Amino acid sequence: MKQTESATMLHSFVTPHNTYYVLMQIFLCVIYK
């Protein structure tokens, strides 16, 4: 289970669209803090 979880996380990080989404989430977190 953990192997597939890390694999999906790695895949989402590889995807440009998902990476952009993650960066936006971090950006919003920094702003709200």
Instruction: Write down the pLDDT at residue 21.
Output: 83
The pLDDT of residue 24 is: 87
Q: What is the pLDDT at residue 19?
A: 75
Half-sphere exposure of residue 16, counting CA atoms within 13 Å on the CB side?
0
- Of 19 and 31, the structure prediction assigns the larger pLDDT to 31
Handedness of CA 12, 17, 22, 23 (dihedral sign): positive
Give pLDDT tens digits for 3-29: 676 666 666 666 666 678 888 888 988
